[in-house]
Amino acid sequence: MHAMSQEPNAYQHVSVSHHGAVTCVTLNRPHKRNALSLQVIAELRHAFDHLPAETGAVVLDGAGEHFCAGLDLSELAETSPAEGLMHSRVWYEAFERIQFGRCPVVCVMHGAVIGGGLELASVAHVRVAEQGAYFGLPEGQRGIFLGGGGSVRVSKLIGASRVAEMMLTGHVYTADEGLVVGLAHHVVAAGEGRRKGMELAARIATNAPLSNFAIMHALPLIAEQPMSHGLMTEGLMATITQSDAEAKARMQAFLQKRAGKVTPQANEGVQ
């Protein structure tokens, strides 16, 4: 159903570039508005599965005028129900690898962030929207349903009620509205998304690896657990992270006044 060799130069619709501890993975199919074909999904998965050891965080963005127009509608036009189910599974597996991979992901969104494009963005750990970005779920209009995990992930971000309303009515959220409802963590001027994303990713890459691991892998599970289980899991994870030599060294650095304080200016340089 999807094929891609292990050769990095086999990329057709995704480009990958390395900048020290930050790797940029860019949807690069602008003539189709970065619509997500199975080839694109396979290439994304390949890129995230083959991050170099020195990569500590990833920026995911899109080339051209739009982040992503969602599912490649030409692919599902003739599929059977069984093929449709398998199609979703291919997306689910690739998105799992991104969300629960080794490195936190900062998604930079501009222009259209539609359907499967929003499902992909919701896989990331941090989302930056440029002014002019807009979010839509036209599934009702297209006669289909979410199929890339959006019912779960986008609902967790903004609530199932808003997801339903977007799909039923075609309601589109602007970047600023996306910030308010929880689709974006940061809004920046048009054209500034990549810079902001790189700065955030570079900062993330300086965190203790075990902290980033706990944030990516333990926090989502803890948030789903009943209170008593969640507190137990949190306590165990806290004990493991704080026992690590890296944590000890960082705490000592603060106590000896060698580490930065947390101030209202903490966002400077990442605004």
Q: Quick check: 129 and 157 in contact, CB under 8 A? A: no
Q: Is 56 in the site for ligand 1HE (CB under 6 A)?
A: no
User: Choosing from 139, 199, 224, 268, which is the catalytic residue?
Assistant: 139
User: Choosing from 119, 130, 224, 268, which is the catalytic residue?
Assistant: 119
Cα separation, 182 vs 163, in Å, equals 12
Q: Is 74 in the site for ligand 1HE (CB under 6 A)?
A: yes
Beta carbon of residue 36, minimum distance to ligand 1HE (angstroms, whole number): 7
Q: Give me the sign of the Cα torsion angle 130, 168, 91, 160.
A: positive
Q: Is 33 in the site for ligand 1HE (CB under 6 A)?
A: yes
Mapped onto helix, strand or coil, the DSSP state of residue 200 is helix
Number of residues that bind ligand 1HE (CB under 6 A): 23
Closer residue to ligand 1HE, CB minimum distance, 110 or 196: 110
Q: Residue from 14, 41, 71, 163 that binds ligand 1HE (CB under 6 A)? A: 71
**Does residue 139 carry a catalytic annotation?**
yes
Q: Is 172 in the site for ligand 1HE (CB under 6 A)?
A: no
Q: Is 66 in the site for ligand 1HE (CB under 6 A)?
A: yes
Cα separation, 127 vs 154, in Å, equals 12
Q: Is 112 in the site for ligand 1HE (CB under 6 A)?
A: yes
Question: Which one, of 196, 39, 40, lies nearest residue 110 by Cα?
Answer: 196
Tokens of 4: 């891609």
Alpha helices in 32-148 (DSSP H): 38-49, 73-76, 81-99, 116-121, 139-142
Cα separation, 1 vs 102, in Å, equals 26
Q: Is 104 in the site for ligand 1HE (CB under 6 A)?
A: no
Q: Quick check: 129 and 183 in contact, CB under 8 A? A: yes
User: Cα dist. 50→23, 55, 215 in Å?
Assistant: 11, 10, 21
Beta carbon of residue 37, minimum distance to ligand 1HE (angstroms, whole number): 8
**Does residue 224 carry a catalytic annotation?**
no
Site for ligand 1HE in 209-268 (CB under 6 A): none
Binding segment toward ligand 1HE, per CB under 6 A, in 94-102, 113-121, 183-191, 213-221: 113-121
Site for ligand 1HE in 132-171 (CB under 6 A): 138-139, 142, 144, 146-148
Question: Which one, of 145, 103, 123, lies nearest residue 16 by Cα?
Answer: 103
Chain residues in the site for ligand 1HE (CB under 6 A):
32-33, 35, 65-66, 69-74, 91, 112, 114-116, 138-139, 142, 144, 146-148
Q: Which residues are catalytic?
A: 119, 139
